């Protein structure tokens, strides 16, 4: 029974929570704009519908194009095994935080190569932007991790994101939280870095890289992106939220994820996306915040 419960909670976190989070973001944005908005489960319906469709592969493409979706989803699933969701992670060791970051890098690598495989100018453009922005986002993420690692005494995600009440905890938590939130927005192509709802290929980043994917491939990509958002959001949630006695670990995580989704929706409703040339500045600010947090912890 206990194992069943654990499997159920993992399945919930990995399969159902990600699309629902995206649904909540859309619903929040609709509410702010005074619309009714699509149902919260719409992303899940979309994924299921895509899984039942066939595929169109460009004649330019090779096996690289088909490798992209499966490896990027596999990398995110492997990263999910390292993240403390509602309970201790499946795999946990000193240094797993670095592996977590680099598994995302693996996913990005294959997504970029799959995009370049189409020979499309638009996808090249998106790939170029993704590569450029992520090389600014990665230091911010790792430096934020480093400050958390220092105060918990090791690069273990489960311990880094456990409740901490040591000296100067508030300052380092706030700074890490700030930089992690910017990285979350950038890595998951949200406003102000990228607009997932844009309809002009020239202005897209992540969406334009997957223009030529369809059917199950697109479903894999979409689910991978949603799962990545949920994983990073659950790290943020674990950083600030205590475990609430009434609803338990799973319940408080779900509540936290929903709250994060609402915050993302509010951010997206309240501002326009930045000009592409300004994005590195935002990310460098995140790097600065993370470094500052690290220095504060070390003091």
Partner 1 sequence: MLTVAVSILLLGALVSALTARLPRVAASVSLASLVMGCLSGLAAAIESAALGGSLEIARPWSLPSARLAVSLDGLSIFFLLTVLIVSLLSGIYGEAYIRRSEGLSKCASLRPLFLILTASMATVVCAQNAVLFLFAWEAMALSSFFLVIVEDEHPETRRAGLIYFICTHTATLALFVLFAILGRATGTLGFEGMRAAMPSGAGQSGLLLMLALIGFGMKAGIAPFHFWLQEAHPASPSHVSAVMSGIVIKVGIYGFLRLIWLLRSVPNFWAIALVLAGAVSGVGGVLFALAQHDLKRLLAYHSVENIGIIALGLGLGCLGLSHHRPELALLGFAGAILHTLNHALFKSLLFLGSGAFAQALGTRNIEAGGGLLKRMPWTSALSLVGAAAISGIPPFNGFVSEWLVYMASISAVTAGEARLAAVSIGGLALIGGLAMACFTKAYGTLCLGVPRTEAAKSARDPGPVMIAPMAALAALCAFIGLWPGPALSLVESAAAAVCGLDLQAAHLALAGFVENARVIGFVGAGVIVIGGLLAAARSFLLGGRVTPGVTWGCGFPAPTARMQYTASSYAQPLTRAFAPVLGVREHFDASAGYWPEKYDFSTHTDDRVLDGLLVPLGSTTVGLLAWIKRRQKSRLQYYLLSVAVFLLILLAWKL
Footprint (CB under 8 A) of partner 1, residues 191-210: 201
CB of 269 to partner 1, least distance (A): 27
Give the integer Cα–Cα distance in Å for 264 and 258. 10
Does position 71 bind partner 1 by CB under 8 A? yes
Does position 28 bind partner 1 by CB under 8 A? no
How many beta carbons lie within 10 A of that of residue 235, not counting itself? Answer: 25
Number of residues lying near partner 1 (CB under 8 A):
85
Of residues 18 and 139, the one with the C-beta less far from partner 1: 139
User: Using CB under 8 A, which of 194, 217, 226, 268 touches partner 1?
Assistant: 217
CB of 62 to partner 1, least distance (A): 5
Contacts of 298 (CB under 8 A, 6+ apart): 147, 150
Does position 168 bind partner 1 by CB under 8 A? no
Does position 95 bind partner 1 by CB under 8 A? yes
Contacts of 228 (CB under 8 A, 6+ apart): 76, 79, 104, 107, 187, 188
User: Using CB under 8 A, which of 12, 31, 98, 174 touches partner 1?
Assistant: 98
Stretch that binds partner 1, among 16-24, 111-119, 237-245, 248-256 (CB under 8 A): 111-119
Q: Which two tokens stand for residue 179?
A: 């930089």
Give the integer Cα–Cα distance in Å for 256 and 145. 20
Give the integer Cα–Cα distance in Å for 224 and 110. 13
Closest CA to 155 of 105, 102, 107, 226: 102
CB of 101 to partner 1, least distance (A): 8
Four-residue CA torsion sign, 212, 217, 223, 225:
negative
User: Using CB under 8 A, which of 103, 230, 261, 286 touches partner 1?
Assistant: 103
User: Using CB under 8 A, which of 14, 44, 85, 112 touches partner 1?
Assistant: 112
Region 118-157 residues binding partner 1, contact defined as CB under 8 A: 118-125, 127-129, 131-139, 141-143, 146, 149-150, 153-155
How many beta carbons lie within 10 A of that of residue 34, not counting itself? Answer: 7
Four-residue CA torsion sign, 171, 293, 177, 153:
negative
Does position 113 bind partner 1 by CB under 8 A? yes
Is residue 196 within 8 A of residue 206, CB to CB? The reply is yes
Helical H segments across 81-214, by residue range: 96-117, 121-152, 157-160, 169-187, 206-209
Of residues 52 and 166, the one with the C-beta less far from partner 1: 52
How many beta carbons lie within 10 A of that of residue 211, not counting itself? Answer: 16
User: Using CB under 8 A, which of 38, 215, 240, 266 touches partner 1?
Assistant: 215
CB of 194 to partner 1, least distance (A): 13
CB of 282 to partner 1, least distance (A): 12
Region 50-69 residues binding partner 1, contact defined as CB under 8 A: 51-62, 64, 66, 69
């Amino acid at each position: 029974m206990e194992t069943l419960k654990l499997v159920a909670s993992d399945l919930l976190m990995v399969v159902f929570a990600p699309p629902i989070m995206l649904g909540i973001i859309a619903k929040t944005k609709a509410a702010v704009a005074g619309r009714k908005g699509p149902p919260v489960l719409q992303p899940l319906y979309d994924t299921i519908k895509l899984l039942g469709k066939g595929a169109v592969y460009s004649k330019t493409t090779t096996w690289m194009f088909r490798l992209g979706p499966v490896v990027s989803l596999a990398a995110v699933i492997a990263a999910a095994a390292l993240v403390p969701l509602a309970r201790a992670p499946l795999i946990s060791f000193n240094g797993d935080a670095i592996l977590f970051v680099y598994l995302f890098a693996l996913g990005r690598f294959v997504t970029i190569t799959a995009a370049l495989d189409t020979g499309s100018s638009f996808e090249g453009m998106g790939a170029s932007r993704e590569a450029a922005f992520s090389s600014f986002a990665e230091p911010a993420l790792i430096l934020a991790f480093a400050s958390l690692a220092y105060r918990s005494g090791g690069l273990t995600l489960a311990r880094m994101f456990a409740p901490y009440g040591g000296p100067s905890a508030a300052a380092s938590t706030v700074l890490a939280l700030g930089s992690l939130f910017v990285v979350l927005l950038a890595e998951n192509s949200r406003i102000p870095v990228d607009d997932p709802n844009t309809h002009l290929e020239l202005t897209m980043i992540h969406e334009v890289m997957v223009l030529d994917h369809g059917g199950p491939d697109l479903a894999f990509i979409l689910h991978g992106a949603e799962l990545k958002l949920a994983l990073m959001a659950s790290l943020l949630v674990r950083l600030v939220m205590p475990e609430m006695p009434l609803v338990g670990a799973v319940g408080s995580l779900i509540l936290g994820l929903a709250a994060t989704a609402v915050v993302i929706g509010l951010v997206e409703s309240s501002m326009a996306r930045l000009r592409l040339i300004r994005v590195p500045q935002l990310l460098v600010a995140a790097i600065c915040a993370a470094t500052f947090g690290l220095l504060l912890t070390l003091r």
